[in-house]
Chain A
Amino acid sequence: MHISEGVLSPGVLIAGAGLTAAGVAVGLRRLENEEIPSVGILSAAFFVASLVHVPVGPSSVHLILNGLLGLILGWKAFPAILVGLALQALLFQFGGITTLGVNTLNMALPAVVCHYLFSWGVGIGARRLVFILSAFAGGCCAVFLSSMLVGFSLYLTGEAFLPVAKVVVAAHLPVMVIEGGLTAVCALFLRQVKPELLEGAYVPKLSSQPQNGSG
Chain B
Amino acid sequence: MCQNCHRSHRMARGRRLFFCLLFTALWLVFFNAPALAHKVMIFAWVEGDTIHTQSKFSGGKRVKGAQVLVFDSEGNQLLEGKTDEQGAFSFKVPKKTDLKVVLRASMGHMAEWKIPAEEITAVGDVSGGSLPEVGVKVATEEAAHSTDVRSSGGLSVPETMGLSRQEVEEIINKCLDRKLTPIIDMLVNAMDRGPKVTEVIGGIGYIFGLVGVALYFANRRKRE
Interface residues of A (CB under 8 A from B): 1-8, 33, 36-37, 39-40, 43-44, 47-48, 50-53, 55, 58-62, 83-84, 87-88, 91-94, 150, 153-154, 164, 167-168, 171, 185-186, 188-189, 192-193
- The answer on a CB contact under 8 Å between B40 and A4 is yes
- The answer on a CB contact under 8 Å between A171 and B106 is yes
Interface residues of B in 98-112 (CB under 8 A from A): 104-112
B108: A residues at CB distance < 8 A: 2-4, 7-8, 150, 153-154
A44: B residues at CB distance < 8 A: 203-204, 207-208
B210: A residues at CB distance < 8 A: 40, 83
Please provide the 6 A-B residue pairs with the shortest distance between their CB atoms, ordered closest to farther.
A40-B211, A192-B14, A3-B108, A60-B57, A33-B218, A4-B110
- The answer on a CB contact under 8 Å between A7 and B110 is yes
- The answer on a CB contact under 8 Å between B17 and A150 is no
Q: Is B178 an interface residue (CB 8 A)?
A: no
How many residue pairs at the A-B interface have CB separations less than 8 Å? 137
Interface residues of B in 26-40 (CB under 8 A from A): 28-29, 32, 35-40
Q: Which of B35, B107, B110 contacts A164 (CB 8 A)?
A: B107
- The answer on a CB contact under 8 Å between A59 and B106 is yes
15 cross-chain CB contacts under 8 A: A1-B38, A2-B109, A3-B108, A39-B211, A40-B208, A43-B207, A51-B36, A53-B32, A59-B105, A59-B106, A62-B37, A83-B210, A84-B207, A92-B37, A193-B14
0 or 1 for each of B177-191: is its CB under 8 Å from A? (1 = yes): 000000000000000
Q: Is B23 an interface residue (CB 8 A)?
A: no
- The answer on a CB contact under 8 Å between A33 and B222 is yes
Q: How far is the CA of A185 from the CA of B107 in the complex (A)?
A: 29
Contact residues on B (Cβ < 8 Å of other chain), bracket: 35 or more
List 7 other contacts, CB 8 Å, given A59-B107, A60-B61, A88-B203: A33-B222, A47-B204, A91-B195, A92-B39, A171-B107, A189-B17, A193-B18
- The answer on a CB contact under 8 Å between A94 and B39 is yes
Q: How far is the CA of A7 from the CA of B58 in the complex (A)?
A: 18
Which DSSP category, helix, strand, loop or mixed, fits chain A's interface? Answer: helix
Q: Give the distance to chain B from A23, nearest Cβ to Cβ, in Å.
A: 17
A84: B residues at CB distance < 8 A: 207
Q: Is B215 an interface residue (CB 8 A)?
A: yes
- The answer on a CB contact under 8 Å between B29 and A48 is yes
Query: Which residue of B is nearest A92, CB measured?
Result: B195
- The answer on a CB contact under 8 Å between A51 and B195 is yes
Q: How far is the CA of A212 from the CA of B58 in the complex (A)?
A: 51
- The answer on a CB contact under 8 Å between A48 and B14 is no
A188: B residues at CB distance < 8 A: 17
B150: A residues at CB distance < 8 A: none
Say yes or no: A94-B37 contact (C-beta < 8 A), given A36-B218, A52-B32. yes
Query: Which residue of B is nearest A211, CB measured?
Result: B222
Q: Give the distance to chain B from A158, nearest Cβ to Cβ, in Å.
A: 12
- The answer on a CB contact under 8 Å between A51 and B107 is no
